Amino acid sequence: MMKKQPEELKAVLLENFSINGAMPITYTQVQDMMSVIEQRSQVREQRLLDAIQSHYDVQANTHSAAQTNHNINDINANDRTWTWGGRFHPVGEDFRFPKTDCRKLWDLWWDGNALKRYGPYRLLQSFDLSIAADQQILSRAKFVMNKLIEHSGQDRRNIMSLPIKDRDDCFESSFMTLHRTIYPNADVTLIDKRRIGDLSFITLYDQIKKAAKNVP
């Protein structure tokens, strides 16, 4: 009788191999199980690859949206950032909020100070100002600007996107409308348009507050 070759013997043994337990398992069954496991593994791998690709797609879309918002808000890449007090700020620690007129505040609010590389003043927060008195001035500036925007008939995003000439016209119209609410009986035709906005925004703040108290 011819002896079986090692590989043939191995195949016979594996074909009849079983594991005793609650239910015997043959080698063929093990192969089938391994095939199923391999198929499931491939499915999981593909799902993982799809999830990774989806993640990168979301990141790319988010970056694109952020870049679009960046362009819409017209934030100048040359605006500086200062570090003091343990955090980043759009102005230096020695910055003082200007007690300027309404027209100048309007320009600073949207454009900032290019000469000093300050970004739009509308982005300032109270913690960006190292002096408490300036924090109060900023609060009044926000109040006045909110009133001017309210009486402009436009939202902030629209105003930001306006050309400078149109934005200047928007300011003049808004200032005159706001002036009428403060002094409803005043003859606005007597106001020299060349001097519109020359009023200090702090004075305008006081006038708005005073008019509100006089409302019955």
Query: 108 in a domain, yes or no?
Result: yes
- 133 or 6, which is more confident: 133
The CA-based angle 177-101-213, given to 5 degrees, is 55
> DSSP label at 197?
T
Q: Is there a single domain that holds both residue 205 and residue 147? A: yes
User: What percent of the chain is modeled with pLDDT above 70?
Assistant: 59
Paired tokens of 20: 């005793």
Structure confidence at residue 213 as a pLDDT band (50, 70, 90)? confident
Domain that holds residue 37: 6-72
Q: Is there a single domain that holds both residue 58 and residue 120? A: no
- Angle (deg, nearest 10), helices 27-72 and 6-15: 80
Each residue's pLDDT tens digit, 105-114: 999 999 999 9
**Mean predicted lDDT score pLDDT of the chain:** 78
Each residue's pLDDT tens digit, 24-51: 556 565 565 566 556 666 656 666 666 6
Q: Is there a single domain that holds both residue 51 and residue 148? A: no
Mean pLDDT of 77-104: 91
Mean pLDDT of 148-173: 95
Mean pLDDT of 75-89: 82
Q: So what's the pLDDT on residue 186?
A: 72
Q: Which of 124, 192, 17, 180 is nearest to 9 (CA)?
A: 17
Sign of the C-alpha dihedral computed for residues 140, 144, 145 and 149 taken in this order: positive
Q: Is there a single domain that holds both residue 126 and residue 182? A: yes
For residues 162 and 156, what is the distance between their CA atoms, to the nearest angstrom? Answer: 10
Q: Is there a single domain that holds both residue 95 and residue 127? A: yes
Q: So what's the pLDDT on residue 7?
A: 57
Q: Is there a single domain that holds both residue 66 and residue 86? A: no
User: Of 17, 50, 72, which residue is a domain's last?
Assistant: 72
72: left (phi over 0), alpha (psi -120 to 50) or beta: alpha
| 113 φ, ψ (degrees, to nearest 5) | -115, 100
Q: What is the pTM of this model?
A: 0.63
Query: 142 in a domain, yes or no?
Result: yes
Mean pLDDT of 66-87: 64
Query: 44 in a domain, yes or no?
Result: yes
Sequence-distant (6+) residues with CB within 8 A of 141 are 97, 105, 109, 121, 201
Each residue's pLDDT tens digit, 178-200: 998 998 887 766 666 667 889 99
Q: So what's the pLDDT on residue 63?
A: 43
In the predicted structure, residue 205 carries a pLDDT above the cut 60: yes
> Do the beta carbons of residue 159 and residue 148 sit within 8 Å?
no
Q: So what's the pLDDT on residue 86?
A: 92
For residues 106 and 102, what is the distance between their CA atoms, to the nearest angstrom? Answer: 6
In the predicted structure, residue 134 carries a pLDDT above the cut 90: yes
Paired tokens of 106: 């309007």
